[in-house]
Amino acid sequence: MYSLEVENFIIVGLTTSGKQFRPSDWAERLCGVMSAFGSERRMAYSPYAQPGTHGNAKCVFVDARIRDIEPMAYTFLVNFAKDNQLVVAPWSERETASKSP
């Protein structure tokens, strides 16, 4: 038996045909679906799905550990990118990237 290693990835706000994905706040909305109330009674983005920018495009940074913690959330993110024909790129946390707080 072997295990499939899942890697971190970025959902980029560009379609595979090169068009900018709309609406302009799509990344924040998508991450809002993954957010939860914290101990301070404030909404906080999940550490496993963070909005940001990659190049000049809005994006969502997805930490692959979400697959083990909440497989349905991982599947939702993957299907969102696929259904909207968005560019998906590998991402290493060591890379310089601009994640929103």
pLDDT digits (tens, 9 = 90+) for 10-31: 999 999 999 999 999 999 999 9
- Region 79-93 average pLDDT: 92
Q: How many CB atoms lie within 10 A of CB 76?
A: 16
pLDDT digits (tens, 9 = 90+) for 31-71: 999 998 877 788 889 999 999 998 899 999 999 999 999 99
Highest mean pLDDT among 5-9, 87-91, 96-100: 87-91
Map out the domains of the chain with their CATH numbers.
9-91 (3.30.70.2340)
pLDDT at 6: 67
Is pLDDT of 4 > 80? no
pTM for the full predicted model: 0.83
Map the chain to HEC letters. CCCCCCCCEEEEEEECCCCECCCCCHHHHHHHHCCEECCCCCEECCCCEEEEEECCEEEEEECCCHHHHCHHHHHHHHHHHHHCCEEEEECCCCCCCEECC
